[in-house]
Chains A and B, each alone.
Chain A
């Protein structure tokens, strides 16, 4: 099973600042089946990035993903008020099982 470790656990920033979130895998993630999700309270996860670096439909270009192998990064270039949420990484290339990181909370 591939374990995904996200850091930091909490990121305290202000609107307009840059956010850099990390996701490290215990083994290489197959075919870059690495995704990032945003989740707000009471809502389902929202797909932001798939294939490590491709933005999902309707996602603003301030969100970008990068990385390969075992190290991946989600960058939010300039935080908007609506970006304060919890972010999860997910791998589904070596499944079952699909695994998720523990999440990073981006707070004001």
Chain B
């Protein structure tokens, strides 16, 4: 069974950093395209970043230069390193696996950027 479990969210001050993790089980993470998607409170879904099976990475313009997506193949874990955080980065962050036309999602982790 495919499972994605996010962790690492919490309260951080503006300008601070945080690293989110997404532990994968039931499949080999490095064989798939993996995404981070976020949802601000009461708002819609917004794509943040993607890492391909070949390691290529892509980012939304709003996070480019501040966020870094990566993975640890030995731990079968996806990461999102977030720096220079702003109030507008406050959201639930979901990781998701893309398998052809099908996306499978974790339950999300809440990041709150506030002083």
User: Do residues B44 and A88 form an inter-chain contact, with CB atoms below 8 A?
Assistant: yes
User: Do residues A100 and B101 form an inter-chain contact, with CB atoms below 8 A?
Assistant: no
Residue B107 lies at the interface, judged by CB distance under 8 Å to chain A:
yes
**Which of A16-24, A42-50, A74-82 makes up part of the contact surface?**
A42-50
The B interface is mostly helix, strand or loop, or mixed, namely strand
B residues 78-108 in Cβ contact with A at 8 Å: 94, 98, 101-108
Partner of B46, one of A33, A35, A96, A100: A100
- Measured in the bound complex, the distance between the Cα atoms of B45 and A101 in whole Å is 8
Query: Which of A44, A90, A92 has the most C-beta atoms of chain B within 10 angstroms of its own C-beta?
Result: A44
Q: A44-B107, A97-B60 are in contact. Are A88 and B45 (CB under 8 A)?
A: yes
Q: Which residue of A lies closest to B94 (CB)?
A: A44
Partner of A47, one of B58, B60, B102, B108: B102
CB-CB under 8 A from B45, the residues of chain A are 37, 45, 88, 90, 100, 103
Query: Which of A43, A56, A96, A100 has the most C-beta atoms of chain B within 10 angstroms of its own C-beta?
Result: A96
CB-CB under 8 A from B107, the residues of chain A are 43-44
- Measured in the bound complex, the distance between the Cα atoms of B83 and A24 in whole Å is 35
User: Do residues A96 and B44 form an inter-chain contact, with CB atoms below 8 A?
Assistant: no
CB-CB under 8 A from A47, the residues of chain B are 102-105
CB-CB under 8 A from B37, the residues of chain A are 98
* A-B pairs with beta carbons under 8 Å apart, 5 shown: A44-B106, A92-B98, A95-B50, A96-B59, A98-B47
